[in-house]
C-alpha cells in the first residue's frame, strides 16, 4: 500500500512554474483553491494542477466558465466539491448546491470528486449519504456513486503511473 501526499494551495495569485514543479516533486497530488477568476482560468490550463478544490464557504465572485472547465478536463484536472461546509451553516449549503449544479451543467461528471472537507467528526457522512447528495445534482445512479468511489480511484491510478 502506498500513501499519497497531497497539498492544497489556497492562493489569489498564480505561482510561477518553478514553484509548481517544486510542489509536484514533493507531493503526489497538488490541489488549488482560489476565489480569483484569472487564477482559476490559469489552473484549468495548467499541467501542474491535479485537483481544483472549490471553496464552498463563500460565494464565488465569478461564474464557472464551461469552456475553462472542459479545458481542465482535457488536462486531466479533477474538481473537488466538499460537502461539510453545507452541514455547518445554511448559507454555505446554498453555495455547495450552487457549485455542484454549475459543475454538473458544465459536464464535469467524470472528473468530480465529492469529499467531506470536515473539520470535526460529526461532519463526516456515510457513502450512501454522499450518493444521495450527488443524486440531488441530477446525476444518474452510477455517476453519483463514482463521485466518491471510481473518480478518486481513477485520479490515484493516473498519478501512480
Give per-residue pLDDT as tens, 107-145: 999 999 999 999 999 999 999 999 999 999 999 999 999
> Which three cell numbers, joined as nine digits, stand for 25?
516533486
Is residue 92 situated within a structural domain? yes
Is 80 exceeded by the pLDDT of residue 94? Answer: yes
Specify the number of domains making up the chain. Answer: 1
Of all residues in the chain, what percent are helix, strand and coil, respectively (each to 5)? 50, 15, 35
Is residue 1 situated within a structural domain? no
Query: DSSP E strands: which ranges in the chain?
Result: 6-10, 29-33, 51-54, 78-82, 112-115
Is 90 exceeded by the pLDDT of residue 16? Answer: yes
Alpha-carbon span 33 to 51, nearest angstrom = 9
pLDDT band for position 91 (cuts 50, 70, 90): very high
Determine the structural domain holding residue 137 and report its residue range.
6-160
SS3 for 115?
A: strand
Residue 113: CATH number of its domain? 3.20.20.140
Average pLDDT of the residues in 18-29: 95
**Nearest residue to 23 (alpha-carbon basis) of 44, 49, 54, 53:** 49
Q: What is the pTM of this model?
A: 0.95
Amino acid at each position: 500500500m502506498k500513501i499519497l501526499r497531497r497539498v492544497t494551495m489556497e492562493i489569489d495569485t498564480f505561482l510561477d512554474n518553478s514553484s509548481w514543479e517544486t510542489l509536484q516533486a514533493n507531493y503526489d497530488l497538488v490541489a488549488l483553491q482560489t476565489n480569483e477568476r484569472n487564477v482559476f482560468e490559469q489552473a484549468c490550463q495548467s499541467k501542474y494542477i491535479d485537483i481544483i478544490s472549490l471553496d464552498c464557504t463563500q460565494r464565488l465572485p465569478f461564474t464557472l466558465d464551461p469552456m475553462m472547465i472542459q479545458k481542465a478536463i482535457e488536462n486531466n484536472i479533477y474538481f473537488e466539491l466538499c460537502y461539510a461546509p453545507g452541514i455547518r451553516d445554511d448559507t454555505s449549503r446554498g453555495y455547495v448546491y450552487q457549485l455542484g449544479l454549475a459543475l454538473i451543467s458544465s459536464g464535469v461528471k467524470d472528473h468530480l470528486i465529492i469529499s467531506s472537507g470536515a473539520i470535526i467528526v460529526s461532519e463526516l457522512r456515510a457513502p450512501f449519504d454522499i450518493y444521495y447528495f450527488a443524486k440531488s445534482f441530477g446525476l444518474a445512479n452510477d455517476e453519483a456513486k463514482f463521485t466518491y468511489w471510481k473518480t478518486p480511484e481513477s485520479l490515484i491510478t493516473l498519478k501512480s503511473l
